[in-house]
Structure 1
Amino acid sequence: MQKTTGSLVWEGTPVEFAGPLDALKLGIAAIHQEVVLCPHLSVAANLYLGHEETNFGMMRRRKMLSDGRALLKRVGFDIDASRRLGDLTIGQQQLVATARAASGDTRLIIFDEPTAYLTRSETDQLFKLIRELNARGVTIVYISHRMEEILELADRASVMRDGSLISTHQVKGVDAEPLTSRLVKDMVAREVADVHFKAEVPIGEELIRVEGLSGEGFEDISLTVRRGEIVGLYGLIGSGRSEFVETLFGRRRRTAGSVTWCGEPLRVRSERDAVKAGIALLPESRRDQGLCLNLPVRLNLNLASYPAISLGGILRRGDERKNANAQVKALSIRTSGIEANASSLSGGNQQKIVLGKWLIPGADLFIVDEPTVGVDVGAKSEIYKLFAKLLEEGAGIILISSYLPEVYDLADKLHVFRKGRLAASDAPSATSHEAILAAAIGA
């Protein structure tokens, strides 16, 4: 993007950037929230994308592979350089992008929500690398909505809201509790106590009962969800939790087990069957699985409603616009209008669209997979309040999150996944963060 006013000064000299390449030439690199590499190429090819090793015009693939392995070893990332990037987890792809940025003569690295898809172990590896880069004189700009990361890494913290710089605070050597309250208040223009919200809703009748369910990536899972209840699923990426809920929703085939819906046997062979029963899914990656980024907000909000607003193959355009405008207003979606492409919205507003499309037809069970990844504190609070409203209306929620404080604070019942199986099940109030993490990693 191009600036409209103001100036950029690099080491005392005014500069103008026509594009990212100009910044890269000065040693400025960026790690984006969504990985922008080539999934069909190898890890090594992605590490050296744009500055490949060549000999008389021919790429030296073996040399790139050898150098890639050495680079990954140097930065402390246990990733096979010969693997296809698209076969890695999103978190591992993020680490590859980080290793790419850390190579060469980089002087400034911008990290945008770098831990959104990382496991605790991967996050520790990243933080270690950031400290090493900083010790070598590399400047770090670290963008995050996770307060504990800011407190752990930053020397100074600046708050931006609605496109404006609100405040800047010293972090090192400052008492964490009052600083956190000040930062959160600046971020959302309200007190920190208002950000985390969980409704006290009476838990009702059983919605879904899963017994001995098995499928690709998980085995022998049993649990229940009742109306007014949040059931949390916690585990490391690859632990089987996402595969389990995708099977419940009909995206994957089950190999064993049974599902009972409102007391009756339920056989979900497709997503259509799940939607018809009253099950909604907010997938792990909203950009890849939950949205049509290059299509309007209007269309995205109506994706689950078109059968209801069509007759004989003819779409009722008035109903389509009415639905979209109603959800934009109800969910406070910040957009220039319902004809704006979904790609133009912030992460928080995109997530509201993914949730909003299910609110039009309605559902009894909402499966939400990493619902607040890359979402600012204000939008996160609004999403939590929307969950509370759904519970009050009699829905049940399955909440999957890699962020332990979130699932611990919101869930009524918590199941821990490890290597495709349930490693622990308990009410959060009857356990601890340490016990949950120990179950997840097998300690």
Structure 2
Amino acid sequence: KSRFGILKQGEMKRQAERELAELNVFMDVDQLARTLSVGQQQMIEIAKALMTDAKVIIMDEPTAALTEREIRALFSVATALRNQGVSIVYISHRMEEIFELCDRITVLRDGISVSTHAIPETSFEQIVREMVGREMGERYPDRDVSIGETVLEVKQASGKRFDDVSFSVKAGEIIGFSGLMGAGRTEVMRGLFGVDRLKEGTIELNGQLLKIKTPYDAIRQGIGFLTEDRKGEGLFLDFSLRENISLPTIRSLSRSGVIKDQAERDFAEGYLKSLSVRHSSMDQPAKSLSGGNQQKVVLAKWLGTQPEVLILDEPTRGVDVGAKKEIYLIMNELAAAGVAIIMVSSDLPEILGMSDRVYVMREGKMSGMLTRQEATQESIMTLATGGQ
């Protein structure tokens, strides 16, 4: 501010641009934060924290929505801060990040401190055991599913931030959508589900042309969409677990416009049990659950609609390793039952571990498709960055 208390807009803009440049982020700093993607909003939060000249910085899941390039920039800044004597408390479910960046690790389980180790004196397997209280086995469950005929086919779709996108998914298949932040993956899914309007292109379900203008149209025709932003778009945080789970199917649980209370309770309790949601009551608000259990409530909501196609946008973002494994097992069970699954993920190991085929997007266009055998971190990143 000036000595008269007036904001120095020019200096504020230059300082914001300077801090973002330190993180290799270049954007119009005058645009509204609500117009940014979740990942871009995360980078704004990180830049804001770094501007405080704090002696201790707490980073709570700072990379949950970031691309690999942005993570590398953040780690570079964090290392420089540490060298300057700044202390960092780094909260993350991504083990590889903790082992790369941190000096010590403390494991919490159910609100209790389980252990503290120096990073050189522990291992990934030991930390996972302490996190979940049991042996985890492989990170990604084996996929042994019989893949059927094509269920959904999207042809030459164009919309908000994407153009000429075509892909298909078969019964029992899990296809992964990969790419850098801003590549247009989420926008494609929002267009497919009717959140945003498609400008061009067609959507076919079992060979029949669909007209999807709203999410209600998509739900009615057998499509479910687990959004990347569970708190902003996936849940009514102040509503009960029962209400959240039953909302998309409330018509079938009502008679003459009146909700059948017992039918709704039985419906919700069935999914809470089958997905092992840790809860004290189905009437407790969704905001009272952990991130992993909130995600399972969103999943329960869509399973209740019995979809033929299920879109999962960042399905394990911000959940612990135990909940991730449970979500992967649920995905396999759904695929075995013939559900066609589209998974958008920024986690390359997750894409490789769970996908039967991988579509890669770059700057709003489809840059390639890889089979399970062809897909590697290198081949995906090559397509995501414009290489051949």
TM-score category of the 2 structures, normalised to the smaller one: over 0.9
SS in 1 for 2:273: helix
Q: 1:148 aligns with which of 96, 99, 105?
A: 96
* Structure 2 unaligned spans of 5+: none
1:352, 1:410 → 2: CA distance? 18
2:380, 2:21 → 1: CA distance? 30
Q: 2:147 aligns with which of 176, 194, 203?
A: 203
Which of 1 and 2 has higher RCO (CA within 8 Å, sep 6+)?
2
The one-letter code sitting in structure 1 at the alignment partner of 2:178 is Y
* RMSD of aligned Cα (Å): 1.8
The one-letter code sitting in structure 2 at the alignment partner of 1:427 is T
Alignment pair present for 1:130 and 2:74: no
User: What TM-score do you get using the length of structure 2 for normalisation?
Assistant: 0.95
Map of 1:267 onto structure 2 = 211
Alignment pair present for 1:393 and 2:337: yes
User: How far did 1:138 drift?
Assistant: 0.6
CA gap 1:74/1:410 in 2 versus in 1, 3 angstroms: closer
User: How far did 1:192 drift?
Assistant: 3.9
Contact 1:198 1:384 in 2 (8 A): no
More displaced 10-residue stretch of structure 1: 345-354 or 250-259: 250-259
2:24, 2:191 → 1: CA distance? 35
Larger Rg: 1
The one-letter code sitting in structure 1 at the alignment partner of 2:12 is M
Pairwise mapping of residues 80-229 of structure 1 onto structure 2 (< 5 A)? 80-172=28-120, 179-229=123-173
CA gap 1:222/1:339 in 2 versus in 1, 3 angstroms: same
CA gap 1:75/1:212 in 2 versus in 1, 3 angstroms: closer
SS in 2 for 1:417: strand
SS in 2 for 1:158: strand
More displaced 10-residue stretch of structure 1: 426-435 or 71-80: 71-80
1:440, 1:164 → 2: CA distance? 41
User: How far did 1:247 drift?
Assistant: 1.5
Q: 1:359 aligns with which of 303, 307, 310?
A: 303
2:17, 2:363 → 1: CA distance? 27
The CA deviation string for residues 250-305 of structure 1, in whole angstroms up to 9 with x for no partner, is 22222222222112222222212211111100011111111111211111111111
SS in 2 for 1:423: strand
Contact 1:195 1:378 in 2 (8 A): no
The one-letter code sitting in structure 2 at the alignment partner of 1:424 is G
CA gap 1:406/1:75 in 2 versus in 1, 3 angstroms: closer
1:89, 1:248 → 2: CA distance? 18
User: How far did 1:215 drift?
Assistant: 1.8
Contact 2:275 2:300 in 1 (8 A): yes
More displaced 10-residue stretch of structure 1: 143-152 or 103-112: 103-112
Map of 2:177 onto structure 1 = 233
Alignment pair present for 1:328 and 2:272: yes
2:257, 2:322 → 1: CA distance? 40
* Structure 1 unaligned spans of 5+: 1-52
2:4, 2:283 → 1: CA distance? 50
